[in-house]
A = this chain, B = another copy of it.
């Protein structure tokens, strides 16, 4: 059986421990240590309020090299001022000291509640414990995937292999995110390890292009976080001929990267806070890309639409009226909507359909909404989920 975790690609060691940052006492602190400096790229939240971990990691990525990543869940270390910033710097220094690295080669990520100071005693002890356990192989990587969870109910990992010339290149990724999810340019926390041999510029390009059509297409609650970060570390140990132009090998690698990120993006939507259904909303027939985007977002950002999903109610009026206020151009006499492959509105008129049968289909785990604006050839899509009472419970009854 293959080692389908962050330690699958050659050259990475991973561990996680219970550091006492999460109130629950669960796993909450993880480390990724590469055997040697990696080509490293990252993308971050576009929120103007950013966590200190984001500021520090951006700085440390300026040379596109990194050898270690620290992460904690349970505390975002955001809106914590100069003290919070100093804590992130101290964390990078501590990891560097234990593994004999320079602090600039250590990246830092945090997720959890905003506005509280990290319990630095627990954090520093946790880093020492995690350093001791760094040689546990895939067991450490599995614990890592658990340690980054906050309101996630499921571990989210993906793995791919691709043959470049005679060499097998491995890619692994793990992600967290279930609430405060509406990524913009980057997303939640995501960690990617790969042993591909690639130039920094092309790793960056592959990551950016991929994020745009995977994580940036997920929305759970339209609330863009202060801590979103995605990191990719490439060890080069697959020993493929170095990818340094956009050739066939680049495209094969980029496709594998897209596959694992798309897989994770769909896992995120399915595990949205309180979610029962993963729903893909697609808009076709738009006059331009902006219209396609705006129409999709008006639909998925409407709590009324997502309550109808939750109630397995094929209430297409809410979907069509969201298109109406989206600002997107449409041809009303061609405007159509399908829910789970059934026409509910066709060419500007209500369609006849079996309400009960369709409602039953909407109770399934995964289905699609397809809207055609009848105004052009552009398309866009979004991964989302239903809006349930459990979402309210998670976000009203707990101080997270």
Partner-B contacts on A (CB < 8 A): 46-50, 76, 78-81, 113-116, 179-180, 182, 184, 221-226, 301-305, 307-308, 310-311, 313, 315-318, 320-325, 330, 332, 345, 348-350, 386-389, 391-399
Chain B nearest CB, measured from A43 CB (Å) = 15
* Interface SS of A by simple majority: loop
CB atoms of B114 and A396 under 8 A apart? no
Determine the chain B residues whose CB is within 8 A of the CB of A76 once the complex forms.
317
Determine the chain B residues whose CB is within 8 A of the CB of A394 once the complex forms.
307
Question: Would A393 and B389 be within 8 Å (CB), given that A320-B114, A321-B78 are in contact?
Answer: yes
CB atoms of B303 and A222 under 8 A apart? yes
Determine the chain B residues whose CB is within 8 A of the CB of A392 once the complex forms.
307, 310, 387-389, 391-392
Determine the chain B residues whose CB is within 8 A of the CB of A318 once the complex forms.
114, 180, 223
The contact of A396 among B310, B322, B398, by CB within 8 Å, is B310
CB atoms of A79 and B350 under 8 A apart? yes
Q: Besides A222-B301, A303-B387, A389-B392, 14 other CB < 8 A contacts?
A: A46-B325, A48-B330, A49-B324, A49-B332, A79-B320, A114-B315, A115-B316, A115-B317, A180-B321, A221-B304, A223-B322, A307-B396, A310-B392, A311-B395
Determine the chain B residues whose CB is within 8 A of the CB of A332 once the complex forms.
49
- Among residues of B, the one whose C-beta sits closest to the C-beta of A329 is B48
Chain B nearest CB, measured from A368 CB (Å) = 19
Determine the chain B residues whose CB is within 8 A of the CB of A307 once the complex forms.
391-392, 394-396
Q: How far is the CA of A345 from the CA of B79 in the complex (A)?
A: 9
Total identical chains: 2
Determine the chain B residues whose CB is within 8 A of the CB of A324 once the complex forms.
47-50, 224, 226
Which of A115, A349, A397 has the most chain B CB atoms inside 10 A of its CB? A115
- 29 A-B pairs whose Cβ atoms sit less than 8 Å apart in the complex: A47-B321, A48-B324, A48-B325, A48-B330, A50-B324, A79-B320, A79-B321, A79-B350, A80-B350, A81-B349, A115-B320, A115-B345, A179-B304, A180-B321, A184-B325, A221-B303, A223-B302, A223-B303, A225-B321, A226-B321, A307-B394, A307-B396, A311-B399, A313-B399, A315-B399, A387-B392, A388-B396, A389-B389, A389-B392
CB atoms of B223 and A49 under 8 A apart? no
The contact of A114 among B184, B317, B387, by CB within 8 Å, is B317
Q: How far is the CA of A332 from the CA of B221 in the complex (A)?
A: 25
CB atoms of B49 and A323 under 8 A apart? yes
CB atoms of B313 and A396 under 8 A apart? yes
Determine the chain B residues whose CB is within 8 A of the CB of A398 once the complex forms.
311
Question: Would A321 and B389 be within 8 Å (CB), given that A302-B221, A303-B303 are in contact?
Answer: no
CB atoms of A303 and B115 under 8 A apart? no
Q: How far is the CA of A124 from the CA of B24 in the complex (A)?
A: 63
